[in-house]
Structure 1
């Protein structure tokens, strides 16, 4: 009696091919919006500084380091600056920004949050968000402006949560707000 071993081998090969994305680090199923936002919040909260990219007067990108507050429930982000800076002039001319969170020393991944920046000078909002170092940086609150970034799109790589780029085109998990 002849035994056909091709069928079990084909089944094993098919199972291996189906498992390859998971073995390569791609999630077995797409992450939910909630999973993606939870991972993003964890990474964003762990970063003390963020890169703020604005559009400069000449149309090119301009990037600087900022000290943000942790993200709000809606993933919007607040930070403070001096109202007489180039960044404020750039935001008045074009409120489109990207915030880039990533700790290169820990290499846990990154979050890129694209949105629109609102300039806020409301004394009640400033008082609500007061940080001790502002007393020295902005004596009497002079020239202090809050930047409120309202998110439009969030992209993330978070290795611990297995939120990795697509193996072929490297498209990353994203959330549109």
Structure 2
């Protein structure tokens, strides 16, 4: 027990040196699903970008940075890509994906695990467009493809919000998500 208290104290000292403060007792805090979603949304907004992780033909994870749309109310996330990119081939072969958001200012992460669906619908593509993307997608019809990520699980770690993993297993606070 004293070792665990010493480890927590060491973490608190390190974080205070880095300019963070953690309210006492918030390590391995249990939060409601609604609170976890609200905290996750704030981290996602602060992160700006997301890492999309797919699996290649050999089962190796392949990660790349993407410019996501904000999550929908049910935490579904939309991304855009070139239809000839490797990620499209990888999603067609195995639609299991992970999204990883990191906010360095808050030392916070959100991980969404779920399934991806490729969407080549002109109405959806018209709704989901960002200014400046003309450089990447000169022809919205043929050079622009959407990826819809439907999460099944979310995990959150945040120094800023005092959400840390279980002291023994480091398992982060998380929840299952059921998207219709």
- TM-score over 0.5 for the alignment? yes
Cα offset, 1:159, TM superposition: 2.1
Q: TM-score, normalised by structure 2?
A: 0.81
Question: Structure 1 or 2: larger helix share?
Answer: 1
Cα offset, 1:119, TM superposition: 0.5
2:88 alignment partner, SS class: helix
Aligned counterparts of 1:103 and 1:23: Cα–Cα separation in 2: 22
1:147 alignment partner, SS class: strand
Unaligned runs of 5+ in 2: 9-22
Aligned counterparts of 1:95 and 1:166: Cα–Cα separation in 2: 30
1:165 alignment partner, SS class: coil
Indicate conservation of the 8 Å contact 2:28/2:166, yes or no.
no
1:118 alignment partner, SS class: strand
Cα offset, 1:26, TM superposition: 2.3
Aligned counterparts of 2:143 and 2:93: Cα–Cα separation in 1: 18
Q: How does 1:52-63 map to 2 (within 5 A)?
A: 52-63=52-63
Give yes or no for the alignment of 1:87 onto 2:92. Answer: no
Cα offset, 1:170, TM superposition: 1.1
Unaligned runs of 5+ in 1: 1-16
Q: TM-score, normalised by structure 1?
A: 0.82
CA-atom RMSD, angstroms? 1.8
Q: Please list the CA deviations of residues 125-158 of structure 1 after superposition, one character each: whole Å capped at 9, or x if unmatched.
A: 1101111222222112122100110000000012
Indicate conservation of the 8 Å contact 1:45/1:71, yes or no.
no
Aligned residues: 156
Q: How does 1:1-177 map to 2 (within 5 A)?
A: 23-26=24-27, 30-104=30-104, 106-141=105-140, 142-177=142-177
Q: Please list the CA deviations of residues 38-69 of structure 1 after superposition, one character each: whole Å capped at 9, or x if unmatched.
A: 00010011112111100011111101110101
Aligned counterparts of 1:140 and 1:100: Cα–Cα separation in 2: 29
2:35 alignment partner, SS class: helix
Indicate conservation of the 8 Å contact 2:28/2:167, yes or no.
no
